[in-house]
A and B are shown apart, each in its own frame.
Chain A
């Protein structure tokens, strides 16, 4: 970092000779942040990488042994872990698809002249700003089979949302859709408002039908931003913990983050959980890479 070239300060300025050099200022401004992130993010990860090769248990003082790749081998051969990944994948697909359909749909509805449009948009965005854990908790009351408002409003009688193992995951995903459709809507609205009006006018002159206009003009132009929303939500849904942990304790809703939490902080299999954390980490980094690629693509436009 110290051997880098600098934008040279205008030599005419007297300031170039007074005060700190640009190089010093740049380093002073940037290096503390980098160091902070390395110390509190990268260093802990290296620390846990080390533990992932041991049978260390943080609950005992017993000495730990180096076990090599044994933890990784055990995890990757464990059908229960694969089941956790399968649950997570199902959750990601259901909740992200729901968010895209609802979010993009509402954005299409909103993309016209509507009285109080600003106020309505802000109100619709409210759920995503709220705490998942705290609001998620309240959905327990909404889902309650006997006095919950959802069964009452939908006339479902005593339908079990959270205590039925087959339904619980969908109930969690439904709450997630409620919270995060606004995010997809927000990004879709930005994409929709960026579609040049003259394209629609040209289509209207050509007597193009609404379906043709949607698939040939709207969708392709909104696609890059929509893609960002999808990748970002996929990443977040993959990491999900709060909602599923608070709403239910069904084995069918044990997404991978919850399994990891239990392994690390309830079963105290520290070494094993570090290995699982690394397996998860590799997956997240892969999704992040795709995300950043798309971000840069959209930025260039």
Chain B
């Protein structure tokens, strides 16, 4: 930018700023629509024209968590009065909460799918990042014959189309009884993220001066001690960024989860679309489920913002 701007340039600049704001609004509109739909009463979710102004309510989130069935007969005023607030919200929607024989409230499929997503994403992230950090250190500090070829091999495993890998994995898992298990999905996600984690961590470790460890080695540290006490603390930021990227990838993954899980280990991404299935879907409940599912990723994106470029380019482009 030249220090002195002509009037023409200044107008152009203003125009650019306005365009940026418009583009930002367009890009955020679908996300805004998810969030706003998740707070709408059901009858306002699919109106013509779309409802933009409304009184927000939490009933979609209540309905998301509970197992419900159609209300055959209206509850008596006494029943209605005795019901807790969340049950009344379900009554208001023309449905009732399903209870088992002992009168315990039954949960919908969503909480368990959300929990499965958490279990699988967290464990596979820990595995991929720890193995990746060790391997990255190995490649960064020691001479390895054919280093570039090995690194290319590692990267290439990430580029494989998931459907292609899924076919033989499905057959193998069937043989070993690993279909629809957490451990089966964890293995797949670890393998998928491992290559990414090696590449990203190698970039971070390459940036730590070798002299730090060499000084420690002279001081009588073993190589292992130097790695754990000098290198790991220095790489902490990189490890955290890598972990968040791996978590997001595993959290969002769809194809493997669709093929390898049915029920017990099913994660949220294949579950949420399966809710739309037949009939008129309740979009407010789907929006509520989507909103809760996207929330962690949105938060992580803000925490990660300085590392996004690096992560998305496999550590090749650094600022």
Contact = CB atoms under 8 A, between A and B. Distances in A.
Nearest to B33: A149
B20 A138 contact: no
A16 B12 CA distance: 64
Contacts of B164: 45, 48, 260, 277, 280-281, 284
A284 B163 CA distance: 13
Nearest to A204: B2
Contacts of A121: 305
A153 B172 CA distance: 49
B272 to A, nearest CB: 5
B8 to A, nearest CB: 10
A86 interface: no
Interface in A96-125: 106, 109-110, 112-115, 118, 120-125
Contacts of B141: 7, 26
A82 B157 CA distance: 26
Q: Is the interface of B mostly helix, strand, loop or mixed?
A: helix
A138 B217 contact: no
B30 A58 contact: no
Interface in B38-65: 46-50
A25 interface: yes
Nearest to B270: A133
A123 B165 contact: no
B198 interface: yes
Contacts of B24: 120, 123-124
Contacts of A112: 1, 13, 16
Interface in A120-136: 120-135
Contact of A33 (B46, B49, B154): B154
Contact of B168 (A6, A30, A48, A260): A48
Contacts of B168: 44-45, 47-48, 51, 274
A201 B2 contact: yes
B255 interface: yes
Contact of B224 (A7, A25, A48): A25
B252 A130 contact: yes
Interface in B257-277: 259, 268-270, 272-273, 276
Contacts of B139: 30
B315 to A, nearest CB: 9
B144 A4 contact: yes
B1 to A, nearest CB: 7
B294 interface: yes
Interface residues of B, number: 107
A299 B134 CA distance: 23
Contacts of B21: 120
Interface stretch (A60-68, A161-169, A234-242): A234-242
Given A113-B1, A131-B251, A239-B162, A106 B218 contact: no
Contact of B269 (A18, A134, A140): A134
B115 interface: no
Given A40-B188, A41-B191, A146-B48, A10 B159 contact: no
Contact of B273 (A30, A36, A137, A142): A137
A285 B164 CA distance: 13
B131 interface: yes
Interface of B: 1-2, 13, 16-17, 19-21, 23-24, 27-31, 33-34, 37, 46-50, 131-132, 134-135, 137-139, 141-145, 150, 152-157, 159-172, 174, 187-188, 190-191, 194-195, 198, 214, 217-218, 220-227, 248, 251-252, 254-255, 259, 268-270, 272-273, 276, 283, 286-287, 290, 293-294, 297-298, 300-302, 305, 308-309, 312-314, 316-317, 319
Among all A-B residue pairs, the 3 with the closest Cβ atoms: A19-B222, A29-B138, A44-B168
21 contacts: A19-B224, A30-B139, A32-B134, A33-B194, A44-B165, A58-B171, A109-B20, A126-B31, A131-B293, A137-B276, A138-B287, A186-B312, A187-B309, A228-B316, A239-B162, A241-B161, A241-B254, A261-B259, A264-B170, A277-B161, A288-B155
